Amino acid sequence: MDKEKWKELDSKDPLHHLKSEFYTHQNVLYLDGNSLGLLSKRAEKTLMESLKDWRDFGIDGWMNGKHPWFTLSEALGEKIAPLIGAYHDEVIVTGSTTVNLHQMASTFFKPSATRKKILADELTFPSDIYALKSQLSLLDLNPGQHLIRVKSRDGRLIEEEDIIDAMTDEIALIVLPSVLYRSGQLLDIKRLTEEAHQRGILIGFDLCHSIGAVPHQLSEWEVDFAFWCNYKYLNAGPGSVAGLYVNRKHFGKEPGLAGWFGSNKEKQFDMDHDFIAAESAGAYQIGTPHVLSMAPLIGSLEIFAEAGMDRLREKSLKLTNYMMELIETELSGFGFSIGNPKDDDRRGGHVCLEHEEAARICKSLKENGIVPDFRAPNVIRLAPVALYTSFEDVHSAVHRLKKIMKEKQYEKFSNVREVIA
């Protein structure tokens, strides 16, 4: 491969200038934005503005200031809506990923005499399974019998045909990831939603590994609900407030877990003991929003509005394709295999690089100024994020990895994951 290809790719990249918006470090290549996105200067600015609102207004910051807190969750939901193809009132910024899954499951899982089971997959993130099991237990249903997990044929991917075959008349609810967190496989949300609805089954998706990297059309596809975190590709900061989507056709459905911030805004401070829900996704909020943890998202979403999801997706695919090309040409013979789908329409935003020495290679990568991500048992996740990764970065990362392997630098480390993998 032409060693100068990265120069041509960077020169033609319309988003190349956005890297300067983020705090990067000299000689460090950050390829872990699918776990925690980098801080942008705008996110820092809007966090400081919200602190200033608190300083200057005290309790009046709920209605005054630059970013009034009382309607901040709705305002941010409206800004996120275009990223996932939703109407503005179908999205709310609230809770955490798992809390929002609990809310969605308790709202939409209503077992009947014949439909008592939830369908998921065996490769999904463990926290989703914990939540679904606990929801079943709360209803005195046996998780071992009533949570069905679609098997993987190869330990990497889940085939849509296998999911559809598992959509039996015993299934009341389906919860799936949009992108599998290890392999980076992108599921066909549109097809799976259509198949579920043809069988009278409600379906929702965990968008943690796709929102901000892959555009969706949730309203058009009539997905029932979705939930996600905002600290990965959306760069809202560690532990930032999450988000959820509820299709308009479900507005008016009583939240499974009611709380006062789900109230109709005009009625909320009436302090009546009869809950009057908001006529929007806001109904599924529970407690008071964590304002200072939401504030960085204000600035981050400004960048997304300027970049546009279509352009971000186009660059993301080019970055991962370039990385895979380099892996195949430069790392041949070193025992690596690519575990993610290579087709653009089946791949999310990261490359799944497999190696039997993955844990110790990750440690050596960090020593060489590359921040990767390890997932047991043998996966090195590399995420070239479109907003702040250049094609030169990808070229440099693969060549540093080649040097590590040629010199066997990884052998000085144990093949055991760090505490935070």
Domain extent listing, the chain = 5-30+308-412, 45-306
Residue 389 annotated as binding site: no
CA distance 210 to 415: 29
Residue 54 annotated as binding site: no
Residue 53 annotated as binding site: no
Tell me if the domain spanning 45-306 has CATH number 3.20.20.100.
no
Minimal CA–CA distance to 393: which of 41, 1, 10, 8?
Answer: 10
Residue 125 annotated as binding site: yes
CA distance 142 to 127: 18
The CATH number of 5-30+308-412 is 3.90.1150.10
Token digits of residue 50: 């919200």
Residue 127 annotated as binding site: yes
Residue 210 annotated as binding site: no
Residue 209 annotated as binding site: yes
Q: Give bridge partners of residue 263 from the DSSP assignment.
A: 277
Phi/psi at 324 (5° precision): -65, -40
Residue 97 annotated as binding site: yes
Contact present, 68 and 54 (Cβ < 8 Å): no
Cβ atoms within 10 A of the Cβ of 390, count? 18
Q: Tens-of-pLDDT digits for all 421 residues of the chain?
A: 566 899 999 999 999 999 999 999 999 999 999 999 999 999 999 999 999 999 999 999 999 999 999 999 999 999 999 999 999 999 999 999 999 999 999 999 999 999 999 999 999 999 999 999 999 999 999 999 999 999 999 999 999 999 999 999 999 999 999 999 999 999 999 999 999 999 999 999 999 999 999 999 999 999 999 999 999 999 999 999 999 999 999 999 999 999 999 999 999 898 899 999 999 999 999 999 999 999 999 999 999 999 999 999 999 999 999 999 999 999 999 999 999 999 999 999 999 999 999 999 999 999 999 999 999 999 999 999 999 999 999 999 999 999 999 999 999 998 888 877 7
Residue 162 annotated as binding site: no
Minimal CA–CA distance to 413: which of 347, 365, 379?
Answer: 365
Residue 126 annotated as binding site: yes
Residue 107 annotated as binding site: no
* First vs last C-alpha separation in the chain: 32
pTM, to two decimals: 0.96
